Structure 1
Amino acid sequence: MLIGYARTSTLDQDAGFEAQLRELKALGCEKVFQEQVSSVAPRKQLEAALEFARQGDTLVVTKLDRLARSVVHLGKIIEALEAKGVALRILNLGVDTSTPTGKLMLSVLGGVAQFEREMMLERQREGIAKAKDEGRYKGRKPTARARAEEIKALSAQGMSMGAIAAQLGIGKGSVHRVLNPASPAA
Structure 2
Amino acid sequence: MTVAIYARVSTNRQDNINQVAELEEYCKRNNRAVFRTYKDEVSGVKDTRPELDKLMQDARLKRFNQVIIWKVDRLGRNPLHMLQIVEEWEKIGIDFTVTTLGIDTSTPMGKFVFGLLAQVAELERRFIIERTNTTMSRIKKELTKKGYYITKEGKRITKLGRPKGKGDSKPRKKRGYYLRDYKKRSPPHFSKSKTRDNEG
| TM score, norm. by length of structure 1 | 0.54
Q: Describe how 1:25-174 pairs up with structure 2 within 5 A.
A: 25-28=24-27, 29-41=34-46, 42-53=48-59, 54=62, 57-109=65-117, 111=120
Point out the structure with the larger strand share: 2
Distance in 2 (alpha carbons) for counterparts of 1:47 and 1:100: 28
* Alpha-carbon offset, residue 33 of structure 1: 0.6
Q: Which structure 1 segments of 5+ residues have no match?
A: 116-186
Distance in 2 (alpha carbons) for counterparts of 1:56 and 1:31: 9
What's 2:23 paired with? 24
Residues 6 and 66, structure 1, Cα contact 8 Å, conserved in 2: yes
Distance in 1 (alpha carbons) for counterparts of 2:115 and 2:14: 28
* Alpha-carbon offset, residue 27 of structure 1: 2.5
Q: CA RMSD, aligned part only?
A: 2.4
Amino acid at match of 1:22: A
Q: For this pair of structures, how many residues does the alignment match?
A: 113
What's 2:5 paired with? 4
Residues 50 and 80, structure 1, Cα contact 8 Å, conserved in 2: no
Distance in 1 (alpha carbons) for counterparts of 2:54 and 2:83: 18
Residues 71 and 98, structure 2, Cα contact 8 Å, conserved in 1: yes
Amino acid at match of 2:43: S
Higher Cα radius of gyration: 2
Structure 1 residues 56, 35: closer, same or farther in 2, change over 3 A? closer
Q: Which structure 2 segments of 5+ residues have no match?
A: 28-33, 125-200
| TM score, norm. by length of structure 2 | 0.50
* Alpha-carbon offset, residue 3 of structure 1: 0.7
Structure 1 residues 18, 57: closer, same or farther in 2, change over 3 A? same
Amino acid at match of 1:102: G
Amino acid at match of 2:5: G
* Alpha-carbon offset, residue 36 of structure 1: 0.6
Percent identical among aligned pairs is: 32
Amino acid at match of 1:37: V
After superposing on structure 2, the runs of 4+ consecutive aligned residues of structure 1 that deviate more than 4 Å are none
* Alpha-carbon offset, residue 83 of structure 1: 1.7
What's 2:134 paired with? none
Residues 35 and 64, structure 2, Cα contact 8 Å, conserved in 1: no
Residues 2 and 60, structure 1, Cα contact 8 Å, conserved in 2: yes
Amino acid at match of 2:45: V
Amino acid at match of 1:73: H
Q: Report the secondary structure of 1:30's partner residue.
A: strand
Q: Report the secondary structure of 1:26's partner residue.
A: helix
Residues 71 and 100, structure 2, Cα contact 8 Å, conserved in 1: yes
